[in-house]
Amino acid sequence: MKERQILFSGPMVRALLNDTKTQTRRVVKPQPVANQRGKFNFTTFTDDEGIESYWQNYPFWGPVRCPYGQPGDRLWVRESWGYFDPDGTGVDYDRDHNDDGKAGPCTAYRQEMLEEGNALRNYWRRRIAYKATFAERKYGMGPVGPNKWRPSIHMPRWANRITLEITAVRVERLQDISPADCEAEGVQRLPLQEGELNPWYTADVSAGPVLHSRSTIGAYRKLWEQINGPGSWDANPWVWVVEFKVVTP
C-alpha cells in the first residue's frame, strides 16, 4: 500500500465528510493521441519500475501510470487550514511558524506527530482550524479563529484529518460521465421549491453561490468549468476516474 497526497476545495471537503462524494476526476497529463488505427491504448499501471522510461519513449502508444495509485492505496487530503488560539491565551502561533507548517520546535516533523493519541500530536491538532468546516463568522483573530488561512498545498501530513482508500481506477472521456457518477462526484438535488422543479446543484469552488442546473450532468459541468476554466468541458479530455471511500473522518 502506498500513500499519496491530493488537494480538495472546501465544498468538496464538506462533501467528503458528508459521504456524498466517492469519486474524483483528474485530467490525464499529457493527453494521449490516437495511434495510426485511431485507437487509444490505455492500461493502468501503478508499479514505478520501468514505466517512466517506457512512457518517454512511447508517449502516445504505451501504458499510462496512474499518478494517484491503485485500489488499496491511500490518499491523504490537503485542505485550507490555519493555526489559532483555542484557549484565548493571546499566543500568536502564526508568528512563529512558516507556511509549510514545519518550522518551530514543536511542529517539526517527528514520528510522534503522526501517532494517534500521542500528547504532542493532540496538542497541535487542537490548534488547527479547517476552513471548510470552521464555524460561520469565526474568521477573526485569537480565540475566534486563525490570523490567516493557509493554502491547502502547505498542509503538513500531521495536520491532515481525512484519508481516502482507493477502491477503483479507470480512464474515460470527461463527457462520458453518467448521472450516477455526477452524484458520486458530490452533485445533489436542491429541496423542492413551490411552483418549481427541484434542480440539481453543486457548491461553487469560490465563496459564491451554489451552481444550479436542471440535470446532474449540467451541474457537474458547471463545477468542472469553475475549476478548470471556460471551454474545459467542451475539450472533453481523457480523465482519471478515482473511486474511494473515507477511512478516517
DSSP 78-102: E--EEE--TT-----TGGG--TTS-
pLDDT band at 215 (very low <50, low <70, confident <90, very high): confident
Reply yes or no: is the peptide bond before residue 30 cis, omega within 30 of 0: yes
- Given this model, what pLDDT does residue 21 score? 94
- Given this model, what pLDDT does residue 227 score? 86
CB distance 149 to 216 below 8 Å: no
Is the model more confident about 38 or about 182?
182
pLDDT at 65 over 70: yes
Quote the CA–CA distance of 92 and 62 in Å, as a whole number: 53
State the DSSP string of the chain: --EEEEE--HHHHHHHHTT---EEEEE-SSPP---TTS-----EE---TTHHHHHHHSTTTS-EE-TT--TT-EEEEE--EEE--TT-----TGGG--TTS--STTTS--GGGGSTT-HHHHHHHTTEEEGGGSPTT--SSGGGS-SSPBPGGG--GGG---EEEEEEEEEEEGGG--HHHHHHTT-EEPPPPTTS---EEE--SSSSPPEEESSHHHHHHHHHHHHH-TTTTTT--EEEEEEEEEEE-
pLDDT at 60 over 80: no
Is the model more confident about 135 or about 169?
169
pLDDT band at 55 (very low <50, low <70, confident <90, very high): very low
Is the model more confident about 54 or about 141?
141
How does pLDDT run across 185-204, given as a tens digit for each residue?
988 776 555 555 566 666 65
First-to-final CA distance of the chain: 20
Q: Quick one: average pLDDT of 180-185?
A: 93
pLDDT band at 242 (very low <50, low <70, confident <90, very high): very high
pTM over 0.85: no
pLDDT band at 237 (very low <50, low <70, confident <90, very high): very high
Take residue 113 and report the three cell numbers written for it: 506527530
Share of the chain above pLDDT 70, in %: 68
Query: Domain coordinates of the chain in residue numbers?
Result: 3-75+163-248, 80-159
Is the model more confident about 7 or about 216?
7
pLDDT at 172 over 80: yes
Nearest to 199 by CA among 217, 181, 184: 217
Quote the CA–CA distance of 73 and 161 in Å, as a whole number: 17
Top-ranked range on mean pLDDT: pick from 38-47, 120-129, 139-148:
120-129
Looking at CATH, the fold of the domain delimited by 3-75+163-248 is given as Sulfate adenylyltransferase (3.10.400)
Cell numbers 452524484: residue: 183
pLDDT at 217 over 50: yes
129 backbone dihedrals φ, ψ, rounded to 5°: -110, 140
How does pLDDT run across 13-39, given as a tens digit for each residue?
988 998 999 999 999 887 876 666 666
Provide the residue count of the chain. Answer: 249
pLDDT band at 205 (very low <50, low <70, confident <90, very high): low
